[in-house]
Each structure stands twice: as structure tokens, then as C-alpha cells.
Amino acid sequence: MIRPLLPDFVYNPPDVPLTVLYEDAHLVVVDKPAGLLSVPGKLEGRSDCMIGRLQAARWDALLVHRLDCDTSGVMIFARTKQAQGFLGQEFEKRSATKTYIARVKGEVDGEAGHIDLPMGSDWPNRPRQMIDHENGRPAQTDWQVIGRAEGETRLRLSPLTGRSHQLRVHMLAMGHVILGDPIYDVAGANAWPRLMLHAETLALHHPQCGERVHFAAPCPF
């Protein structure tokens, strides 16, 4: 299926201070603003990014995972190679757990649920992803209603897998696209100042002591 053309991506990263939520000798946790790439883009004019800003202040910061450019919230970086390997395994083995806050279009039926829909790349329409029952990889998301307003619902989303655009595609498949989504709701995105998706919490084992640690960033919307 050929979907509506995406508008040209204009990169205009926000000029905001670095927000460090926690740091020690092994890791540093930040609150990434919406509109900032996690890592440098391939094209000219896209060098400003979260890891670049962090390394300007913490030279030893090492990438562990990414957030979509349009998504804000908790992002963790390692400060040693050993910690980077350990934290990477936390994500790979699904020991790391995350929650997100989303505002979605329409009134969601029910109070909680589980989405189990495999996903794959929508190659003719990149960077879009899509539900793919034949060749897609398993993708699972739990959701819970935490608020309602006219024409929209506020959800807490818990991805059990880590597919690219998983929450955005699962919400679309559920019939409730995330408000302000410039990729999956091209026609309606301009009505909102940003994608209404925020990485609220991250919990995993600490690379030094092995204890479970929990980080949170307040939702800005």
C-alpha cells in the first residue's frame, strides 16, 4: 500500500538546557527533549543530537539505546565500556522495563488491554513501520487508560518488545493514533506542537551493584 507522502523533514532541534536526571561513575540519565535526534543524522544539518550535547558536558558518555526524534523522556547512557555492555544486555534480554505517556485521538474503549501484533518495515514508505502478519517480528504492548478528555484519551503504555515505532504503530492499529504524529497522522499532526509521546520511566539493573534502579522524567504535556 502506498500511503500519503510524508512532508519534508525540517530539523529544528530545541534550544534548551541539558537536563540530567541522575549520574554516577557508571551511567548518566537524561530527559531528552522532543525534536532532538538521539544520534547524529546522516544528512547535512543534522549533527546536533542528544549524545553530542551530553558528550560536550560528559565526555565519557556512551550510547546504550535510542528514542525517536519526536519523543521526549528518559534516556540512559553508559560511562564505561563495561557498563555499556551490561546495559545493552539489559535491553536485549528485556530486563529493562519502560513506560510511556501518550495522548491519543478518540475515546478508547475499556480501561486496559494488551496488543500483540507483529511489525516490520513499510519499505516503499520509509521510515514508516507497519503491522506485518507474514514477515513481521513479534511486538507486544500493554496499555492502561489514565485520563480522558473530549476527543482524546491519555494512556500509559508499556512496551514488552522494542520495535522501531512500536507504540506509534500499535496505537494506529488500535484505531487511536497518537496526537501530533507527523509520520502516521500526516493530515492532523500540524494541529499539535509536538508528538504527544513521552518516555516516563525506565527501570533496570545497575551495572556496578546489580540492584534494580528506577528513573523517571515528568511528562511535559
Query: Quick check: is 109 catalytic?
Result: no
Q: Does 4 fall in a domain? A: no
Question: 164 lies in a domain?
Answer: yes
Within-domain flag for 6:
no
For residue 117, is it within any domain? yes
Cα 87 from chain centroid (whole Å): 17
Per-residue pLDDT of the chain (221 residues; tens, 9 = 90+): 546 667 678 899 999 999 999 999 999 999 999 999 999 998 888 999 999 999 999 999 999 999 999 999 999 999 999 999 999 999 999 999 999 999 999 999 999 999 999 999 999 998 999 999 999 999 999 999 999 999 999 999 999 999 999 999 999 999 999 999 999 999 999 999 999 999 999 999 999 999 999 999 999 99
**141 phi/psi in degrees, rounded to 5:** -140, 130
Catalytic choice (15, 48, 60, 68): 68
Cβ atoms of 57 and 6 closer than 8 Å: no
The CATH number of residue 152's host domain is 3.30.2350.10
Domain span at 168: 20-216
Whether the Cβ atoms of residue 105 and residue 177 lie closer than 8 Å to each other: yes
Helices and strands counted in the chain (H then E): 3, 12
| Number of domains within the chain | 1
In a domain, 11, yes or no: no
Sorted by sequence, the CB contacts under 8 Å of residue 162 that are 6+ apart come out as: 65, 91, 94
In a domain, 3, yes or no: no
pTM metric for this prediction: 0.94
- The verdict on residue 12 lying in a domain is no
| Residue 221 within a domain | no
